[in-house]
Chains A and B, each alone.
Chain A
Amino acid sequence: MTLADLAGTSEIIICCGSGGVGKTTTAAVLAMQAARTGRRAVVVTIDPARRLADALGLDGIGNTPKAIAGDWPGELSAVMLDTKSTFDAIVTTYAGSPEQAERILANRFYRNISGALSGTQEYMAMEKLYELQADDAFDVVVVDTPPTRHALDFIDASRRLTNFLDHRLYRVLTAPTRGVMKAVNKAAQAFIRAVSKVVGSDVFDDAVAFFGAFEGMEQGFRQRAERVLELLSDPRTAFVLVASPRRDTVQEAHFFAAKLGENDIPVRALIVNRMHPRFTDRLPEAHRERAATLAGTELGALYANLADFALVAAREEQHLEGLADQVAPAPVVRVPFLPTDVHDLDGLDAIAAHLF
C-alpha cells in the first residue's frame, strides 16, 4: 500500500519518531493529502512548541478543531492538544456528579499531575484521538506524537493510568474511604510513613484526598482505555514512522519500530526527511581526488563541494540500511532537504510532491 493509499483510506494515522525529524510537518502533509482526495481530515499536534501552527502559517489553533482554508475538495482542520483541558474534560465526563468533578479539579495533587504526570501528555493525545475519531465531522484523524523517546508510551498510556488507579498503593491510600482500613497491614503503614517522611505530609494528604475523590471512576477510565487500545491495533489505524538519515536518529527509529513490533503493531510506511540530495553517481573519493589535483582553482572548489555532498549522501544511505528491512514491506519514502524551511502551505505542497 502506498503512502497515497494510506492517506486516502486510513481512518487514523499516527506519526511517530524522535524529535526534530519533521513529524509535525509530515502529519500536516498527510492530512492535507487526505483533504485533497475529498476526505474530511483533522490533524492533532501535541508538541507544545507550536510547530504545526508554524507549518500551517496559522496562529492560535487550540484544543478544538479549527478549519484551514485551502483549494481542496475535502476539509482540513487542526487541533493543538491542551493536555490540561483535555484531562479536565474527561474528569467531568466520568465523574458521578458535578460535585465529584469539582472536588477533583480543585485538588492540588490533581492540578499537579494533570500537567506533569509522566505519560499524561501521551494519554491525553489518545483521549483526543478517541474523541475526534468518534466525531462524525471527520473521516480521518492524523496524530503527531510527542518528541520524546517515551513517545510510544501512548500505547500503554491509557493502560498506565488504570494500572495506577489499580495499584496496591492506591488501594492502601484510599482504604480509609473504603472502610477496609483493617486490611492495611503493618508493612503498608510503614511504607506510608516512609513515603510521607520523604515527600512531606501535606503532599501526601493531597494525594490521599485525590484518590478518595476518584472513587468509583476507575471503571469508566478502564473501559475507555480498552477501547483506545482496540483502536490502536485496528487495521484502519496506520502507524507511520518518521526519521531523518542521521546515524543517531536512525538508531532511534530502530527503537521505535521494535517497540511497535512488541505491541504487534506494524509500521505501515517509513518517511525519511531531510535527505541530502544525491547530485552524482560517482564515488566521493573520485571527486575528492579531482578537487585535490585542481586545488586553488574554481573548478577545484566545485569538485570539493560535489565530493562533500557525494560523501554525505553515501553515508546517509549506509545509515538507513537495515531500517528499511526492519519495517518491510512498508514503503520507504525519502524526502530531500528543501532549499528553504517549511513554514506555510506552499512548503507543505513541496513536501507533498515528494511523498505522493
Chain B
Amino acid sequence: MDAQQFFTASRVAIVAGKGGVGKTTVSAALARAAALSGLSTLIVEVEGKSGLASMFGKAPLAYDQMVLSEAAEGAAEVTARTLTPDDALLEYLHDHGMSRLSKRLMSTGALDVVATAVPGIKDILVLGKVKQIERAAAAGAAGSPDYVVLDAPAAGHAIRFLQSARGLVDAVKVGPINTQASEVLELLTDPARCQVLLVALPEETPVNELVETAFSLEDKVGVSLGPVVVNGLYPEMGGLEADPEAAAEAVGTTLRPGEADDLAAAAQFRRDRSALQRHQLDRLAEQLPLPQLRLPYLFNADLGPADIDTLAAALLEGIDALPRMVPAGARDGGSA
C-alpha cells in the first residue's frame, strides 16, 4: 500500500498496548514515517512521562506544543504535546467560561473529587481535546497537523480509556459532558477518522494480551483496528548454524582461546529466540487476522533520532508491503 494512502486513510492513529512493549517508541517511529511521507504530524502524549523528546534528541516536553523534528528535504515536521487530564480539565473549564471555578478546583484540591463524581471524565477530556485537534485539521485550520498520533495510556488501562466515551454517554444523559462524550464516540468509531494500532512484543504473554485487547476494543468500543505493530524482532541473520572452529578453518584463521564457545553460545541464543519470535508471529497471525507491521530489535538499545529513523524506515517498508486498504474489522477482515 502507498504510504500516503495509509496515513491519510484516517487522520488519528491511537497507539495502544501493554506496558513495556514500546508504545512510545512506536508512536515516535509512526510519526516520523508519516512526516517522511510529507505529512506534518503531531504526537499527543498523555501520561506526562515518556522519553519521547529524547528520542528526537530534544529536552522533555512541556504542555505547549514543541517541534521534535523540523521539516527538511521533503519530510514534514513532527511536533508533540503533553496533554494530561488535569490540563485538559482546566482548559475545558476555561473554554466553558468557568476560569474562576477552575482556579478554585485547583486550590482546594476538589479537582479529584469532581473527577471522581464522574468516572471517565478525565479520559473524555483528553480524547475531547484530540477530537478538537482532529476537527480543526479536517477543516483545514492554519497550523493544524495532517496526521495525529496519540500515545495512549498502557492497556488494560487503554481499554478503560477508550471505553470512557461509551460509558459516559450512558451515564450522563444531558449537558456538555454528554455532548463531548458523544462526539468522541463518533470519532473513535469512524474508521475514516480514527484507527487504533496495537503494539506487541513477539512473546507469548504479550501476544495473548494483545489478542484479548483487540477483541475487547472491537466489542466494547467499536473502534477500527489498523495493522498490529510487532516490536523488537531480532533481524534475520544467516550463517549462525556454523561451528565456529570449522568456520575459522574455512577462512584460514584461528580463534582466541574460549572465543569459539562465546561465538557458539551467542549464535545459539539468537537462533533460539528468533525461532521463538517466529512462532509467536505465526500464533498472532492465526489468532488475529490483521496485517502485521514488524519492527527490528535495535541492539544499540539507545533510541536516539537515528534509531527512530531506522524504525520509521522499517514501518514504511511494512506499509509498502501491505496488500490493500486496512480492513475495518479484526474478525471479518483478512490479511490476504
Q: Would you call the interface of chain B mostly helix, strand, loop, or mixed? A: helix
B19/A18 in contact, CB under 8 A: yes
Q: Name A210's closest neighbour in chain B (CB-CB).
A: B117
Q: How large is the interface on B (under 10, 10 to 19, 20 to 34, 35 or more residues)?
A: 35 or more
Q: Please indicate which of the listed interface residues A48, A54, A302, A316 has the most CB atoms of chain B within 10 Å of its own CB.
A: A302
Say yes or no for A308: interface residue by CB 8 A criterion.
yes
A→B interface (CB under 8 Å)? 18-21, 47-49, 51, 54, 108-109, 112-113, 115-118, 147-149, 160, 164, 167-170, 191, 194-195, 197-200, 202-204, 207, 244, 246-249, 251-252, 255, 277, 279-280, 294, 297-306, 308-309, 311-312, 315-316, 319, 337, 339-341, 343
Cα distance, A277 to B173, chains bound together (Å)? 57
Say yes or no for B327: interface residue by CB 8 A criterion.
no
A319/B301 in contact, CB under 8 A: yes
Q: A19-B154, A248-B24, A315-B302 are in contact. Are A200 and B239 (CB under 8 A)?
A: no
B272/A339 in contact, CB under 8 A: yes
- Nearest first, the 5 closest Cβ-Cβ pairs linking A and B are A20-B20, A19-B19, A301-B239, A116-B119, A298-B242
B265/A279 in contact, CB under 8 A: yes
Which of A168, A280, A297, A343 interacts with B204 by CB under 8 Å?
A343
Q: A248-B51, A279-B266, A312-B299 are in contact. Are A305 and B237 (CB under 8 A)?
A: yes
Q: Mark B26-58, 1 if CB is under 8 A from A, else 0.
A: 000000000000000000000101110000000
Query: Can you list 8 contacts pairing A with B, beta carbon distance less than 8 Å?
Result: A49-B212, A109-B117, A199-B117, A200-B175, A280-B266, A302-B266, A305-B237, A305-B263
A200/B267 in contact, CB under 8 A: no
A246/B177 in contact, CB under 8 A: no
Q: Name A309's closest neighbour in chain B (CB-CB).
A: B266
A279/B276 in contact, CB under 8 A: no
Cα distance, A204 to B47, chains bound together (Å)? 28
Residues of B within 8 A of A194 (CB): 98, 101
A200/B110 in contact, CB under 8 A: no
B251/A54 in contact, CB under 8 A: no
B263/A303 in contact, CB under 8 A: yes
Q: Please indicate which of the listed interface residues B96, B116, B175, B247 has the most CB atoms of chain A within 10 Å of its own CB.
A: B116
B299/A302 in contact, CB under 8 A: no
Q: Name A310's closest neighbour in chain B (CB-CB).
A: B266
CB distance from A11 to the nearest CB of B (A): 28
Q: Name B155's closest neighbour in chain A (CB-CB).
A: A49
B300/A299 in contact, CB under 8 A: no
Which of B98, B101, B205, B242 interacts with A299 by CB under 8 Å?
B242
Cα distance, A343 to B276, chains bound together (Å)? 14
Residues of B within 8 A of A204 (CB): 117
Say yes or no for B320: interface residue by CB 8 A criterion.
no
CB distance from B139 to the nearest CB of A (A): 26
Cα distance, A167 to B303, chains bound together (Å)? 45
B156/A49 in contact, CB under 8 A: yes
Cα distance, A339 to B50, chains bound together (Å)? 29
A304/B269 in contact, CB under 8 A: no
Q: A21-B20, A311-B299 are in contact. Are A116 and B251 (CB under 8 A)?
A: no
A297/B251 in contact, CB under 8 A: yes
Say yes or no for B190: interface residue by CB 8 A criterion.
no
Say yes or no for B138: interface residue by CB 8 A criterion.
no
Cα distance, A249 to B51, chains bound together (Å)? 10
Residues of A within 8 A of B112 (CB): 118, 160, 164
Say yes or no for B135: interface residue by CB 8 A criterion.
no
Q: A298-B242, A299-B251, A341-B276 are in contact. Are A169 and B113 (CB under 8 A)?
A: yes
Q: Mark B196-224, 1 if CB is under 8 A from A, else 0.
A: 00000001111011001000000000000
A247/B51 in contact, CB under 8 A: yes
Q: Name B206's closest neighbour in chain A (CB-CB).
A: A20
